[in-house]
Amino acid sequence: MRTGAVPSTAYHDVPYTRGGTVERSEVGALVRSAVDGDAAAWKAIVEGLGPLVWSVVRAHRLSDADAHEVYQTVWFRFAQHLGRIREPEKAASWLASTARHECLKVHRNARRLMLTDDPQLLDRVSEDDTPEQSLLETEAAREQSERVRRLWQEFEELGERCRQLLRVLIASPPPSYQEVSAALDIAVGSIGPLRQRCLRRLRARLEARGAA
Amino acid sequence: MNDDDAFDEEFDELVDFEGGALEEELRQAAGVLDPLPPALLQVAIDAYALHDLDARVAELTFDSLVDAIPVRGVTDAPRMLTFSAGEVMLDVEVTARGLMGQVLPPQPARIEVLGGPGSTVPLTADDMGRFSADTAPSGPFALRLHTGEDVVVTEWLRA
C-alpha cells in the first residue's frame, strides 16, 4: 500500500511465465480491490493463491484435521488483515509465511500434548483412494497410475528437507523463490541449488527402483 | 524484484535441462494425489465476510505455545493468550473444558466467539471484565469485543 502502485494496465499484457507471474503481478491490485469491497477480486486471490497455501501446509506434515484448520486460519487472518497488509503485492509471501508459522505452532502443540498420531507414519499413497485416484483406475490407465504412484512414493520417502522443499515448489502455479523463501524460511539464493539436488536425488531413486 | 526474477529464470533454464520435466510430473502427481480439497477453497472464498472494516484488530502479543517454557510432565497446560489493541487488552485461557478471559482495563463488554464466517456464540463480560464459556473453541476462532462504541476483534488463531 505504501510502495508504488501497480499500474492498472500492466497486468493485461503480461505473458504467463513461471512464478505465476500473471497472478503475482495482479495480486497487489486485486488486494486493493478486495479492500474496497470487490468480492470477485477476493475470489480471484483465493483461487490463485489457495494452492500455494495448501502446498505450504502439506509440506509441514500435519494430520488432515490440523492441515484443514491451519488452512482456514490463514485465510481468516488474511481477510481480517486485508486493509492493513503493508505490501499488497507480496500477499503471496504473507500467506506462505503465516501458513508456516501456524504449522510450526501445531508441531509445538502436538509435542506438548504428546499426541500419538504421527503424521510421519502416514502412507498417503496406500491410504484411502481419492476420487481422482479411483477414476484413474477405472480408466484403464493402470500403467500411468502406477507411475504416478511410484513417483509419489519415492517423493514421500525422499527425506524431510527435500520433501518439504519440493512440496512447496510443486504448487500450481509454481511459486516464486521469494514465496518459497517465506514458506520455508530458507534463503532465496539457496533454493536453486537445493532444488536441483533434490530433483537429482528423486531421479536417482526412481532409476534405482526401476533397475531393481 | 526484476533482478531476482531474471535470476530465477536463469536457474529455471538449468532446471528445465536437468529436472524441470520431473518436477512438472511431480506437480501433476500432487494434483491427483494431494489436491487442495474443494471444500477448503470454498471456505476461503466465504472468508471474505470476515473482512471487517469497523473493528480494530487486537494483535496476539503473548502465546504460551511460543513464549512460555513448557513444564516437564505437564501435558494439558492451558493455552494462555494475550491480545492488544491500543489501550485495550484481552487475556484468554483455553483448556479442554472451556475458555476464560479478562478484559483490561476491567469493564463490562459484549463478546462474540467467532468460529468462522457466520458462526458466533455470544458471551458477556461482567463489570470486572471477566468472561467464560463452557465449551472450548474447536478449530480457528476469534473474539469480537464491543465496549461502548469501540469494536475490537482478536487475530484469528487455532485453539
**pLDDT tens, B112-147?**
999 988 888 999 999 999 999 999 888 999 999 998
Q: Which chain A residues have a beta carbon less than 8 Å from that of B41? A: 46-47, 50
Q: How many CA atoms lie within 13 A of B153 on its CB side?
A: 23
Using CA atoms, how far residue B82 sits from A53, B60, B64, B93, B159, in Å, is 26, 6, 9, 9, 13
Q: What are phi and psi of B133, to 5 degrees?
A: -140, 145
pLDDT at A64: 94
Interface contact A84, partner B, CB < 8 A:
yes
* Count of CB atoms situated within 10 Å of the CB of B9: 13
What number does CATH give the domain B49-158? 2.60.40
**Which candidate in A33, A61, A80 is best for mutational testing of the B interface (most B CBs within 10 A)?**
A80
Are residues B48 and A42, on separate chains, in Cβ contact within 8 Å? yes
pTM of the predicted protein model: 0.81
Q: Which chain B residues have a beta carbon less than 8 Å from that of A176? A: 4-5, 8
* Residue B86 burial by Cβ neighbours in a 10 Å radius (0-12, 13-18, 19+): exposed
pLDDT at B53: 78
Are residues B48 and A170, on separate chains, in Cβ contact within 8 Å? no
In DSSP terms, A163 is beta-bridged to none
Query: Is there a contact between A181 and A164 (Cβ–Cβ < 8 Å)?
Result: no
**Residue A170, amino acid:** I
Are residues B140 and A18, on separate chains, in Cβ contact within 8 Å? no
Selected residues 29-68 of chain A with any CB under 8 Å from a CB in chain B: 34-35, 39, 42-43, 46-47, 50-51, 54-55, 58, 68
pLDDT in tens, A173-194: 999 999 999 999 999 999 999 9
Alpha carbons B87 and B145: distance in angstroms, whole number: 13
Closest CA to B66 of B86, B82, B87: B82
pLDDT at B12: 52
**Mode of pairing for the β-strands spanning B56-63 and B150-154:** parallel
Interface contact A134, partner B, CB < 8 A:
no
Cell of B29: 502427481
Q: Which of A19, A73, A83 sits opposite B158 (nearest CB)?
A: A73
Alpha carbons A207 and A185: distance in angstroms, whole number: 31
Q: Which chain A residues have a beta carbon less than 8 Å from that of B26? A: 151-152, 155, 166, 170, 202
Q: What are phi and psi of B18, to 5 degrees?
A: -95, -35
pLDDT at B116: 87
Chain B CA closest to residue A103: B158
Per-domain residue ranges of chain B? 2-35, 49-158
pLDDT per residue as tens, chain A (212 positions): 444 443 333 333 333 334 444 467 789 999 999 999 999 999 999 999 999 999 999 999 999 999 999 999 999 999 999 988 889 999 999 999 999 999 999 988 865 444 434 444 334 444 455 666 566 556 667 888 888 999 999 999 999 999 999 999 999 999 999 999 999 999 999 999 999 999 999 999 999 988 66
Q: Which chain A residues have a beta carbon less than 8 Å from that of B76? A: 113
**Residue A196, amino acid:** Q
Q: What is the average pLDDT across B85-102?
A: 93
Q: Which chain A residues have a beta carbon less than 8 Å from that of B154? A: none
Q: What is the average pLDDT across B11-24?
A: 69
Are residues A102 and B158, on separate chains, in Cβ contact within 8 Å? yes
Q: Which chain B residues have a beta carbon less than 8 Å from that of A77? A: 155-156
Q: What is the average pLDDT across B40-44?
A: 96
Interface contact A126, partner B, CB < 8 A:
no
Selected residues 166-205 of chain A with any CB under 8 Å from a CB in chain B: 166-167, 169-172, 174, 176-178, 188, 192, 195-196, 199-200, 202-203
pLDDT at B15: 52
Chain B CA closest to residue A114: B75
Q: Is the peptide bond before B105 cis (omega within 30 degrees of 0)?
A: yes
Q: Which chain B residues have a beta carbon less than 8 Å from that of A195? A: 11, 15, 19, 23
pLDDT at A4: 41
Q: Is the peptide bond before A173 cis (omega within 30 degrees of 0)?
A: yes
pLDDT in tens, B95-114: 888 999 999 999 999 999 99
Alpha carbons B27 and A173: distance in angstroms, whole number: 9
Complex ipTM > 0.90: no
